[in-house]
A = this chain, B = another copy of it.
Amino acid sequence: MKLSELSAALADKGFANSIEGDADLDIVSANTLDDARAGEISFLSNPKYKAKLRLTQASAVIVADQESVPEGLTVMRTENPYAAITAAIIIIHGYRVHPQWGVDEQCRIAASAEIGENASIGPFVTIGEHVRIGANAIVYPGCYIGDRVCIGDDVILYPNVTIYDDSRLGDRVALHAGTVVGQDGLGYAPVNGSWLKIPQVGRVVIDDDVEMGANCAIDRATLGETYIGKDTKFSDLVVIGHGTKLGERCMMVAQVGIAGSVEVGNDVTLAGQVGVAGHIRIGDNVLVHAKSAVWSSIEDDANYLGFPATRAFQYRKQAALVQKLPELRRRLRKLEAEVENLRKDIADRQSD
């Protein structure tokens, strides 16, 4: 594809752009400024990487309209380089092409299961009784789908995913390798000096367009549902406790853990390693910064940080003062000495 053709394709998708330099260049793939070679297009979005423009071997770079660039570098100018490179990647590369297994002869599908048309079910997959799977499913090798699970259309289950009995997945759900949905949560009652297991009779419901990273774990509800809202995305090793309900378009970064019976609103981002205690509510449009510990409910439109999580600007102020504690202690000591001197001074004058 020539750079001019890519430019036209991007313009078609609404990304107005202009080329400065050689529009006839052949572009074979997209890459980072660091790793790009001749024939590749790259981009500059984060200004902190600007110096890399001088070093990159990319044939062309997508930059912001006003960006100054080294002489001789072919660039495509556009308003939002990050959005444009995203569109360019889709144009040049498209999405992953999955293996076509049909329904592999070495998978094990219960007679009562219904599999939609055009499925690709790999070897060593087990599908239980009364399972229903929609059209165009991609089920990679080693997946286990328990009895009575119900799955929508266009779902992708990467290798070694486990879906426990009675779970429900909407359309276009994608679960990466090793993720587990519907295992029993930590439900025990102390009885006579040992733990009595409470049967976990609820289920997990994952709505349309949810994607989860690798090795996540979503507990089934003790009663009722654990629910993941539409278009919510998880990174890897995220854990969701029993009975917790997440809203739409949330973003759970890697190693986030949410305890049981939590309600999370829409458009919530929990950054990496955030932990959330049980039985609380996180409002809509909340951002919690990485590694924070959320112990109590958070109102809508909030920005939290810390251990325990507090409004981010407050936490930053506190953290700055903690760093000044040595100075504050010095000032306190100095004052103590001064007050002592004043007292002596006054006492001396009284005794005069």
Q: Is A158 an interface residue (CB 8 A)?
A: yes
Contacts of A342 on B, CB cut-off 8 Å?
339, 342-343, 346
Give the residue among A221, A293, A295 with the most B Cβ atoms within 10 A.
Answer: A293
A234-248 residues with Cβ-Cβ distance < 8 A to B are 234-237, 239, 241, 243
Given contacts A186-B251, A254-B239, contact A32 B223 (CB under 8 A): yes
Contact of A160 among B94, B142, B199 (CB under 8 A): B142
Are A318 and B322 in contact, CB atoms less than 8 angstroms apart? Answer: yes
Q: Contact: A331 with B321, CB < 8 Å?
A: no
Closest to A198 in B: B86
**B346 close to A338 (CB less than 8 A):** no
Most buried by B among A35, A191, A231: A35
Binding site for B on A (CB under 8 A): 29-32, 34-36, 42, 46, 48, 82-83, 86, 89-90, 93-96, 99, 106, 108, 122-124, 126, 128-129, 140-142, 144, 147, 158-160, 162, 164-165, 176-178, 180, 183-186, 188-189, 191, 193-199, 201-202, 209, 211, 213-217, 219, 221-225, 231, 233-237, 239, 241, 243, 249, 251, 253-255, 257, 259, 272-273, 275, 277, 279, 290-291, 293, 295, 306-308, 310, 314, 317-319, 321-326, 328-329, 331-332, 335-336, 338-339, 342-343, 345-346, 349-350
Query: Can you spell out 24 A-B residue pairs with CB atoms less than 8 angstroms apart?
Result: A34-B224, A35-B225, A46-B279, A83-B191, A90-B198, A90-B199, A95-B199, A106-B106, A124-B124, A124-B142, A141-B144, A162-B177, A162-B178, A184-B211, A186-B213, A186-B233, A255-B255, A272-B277, A290-B295, A291-B307, A307-B307, A318-B322, A321-B322, A335-B335
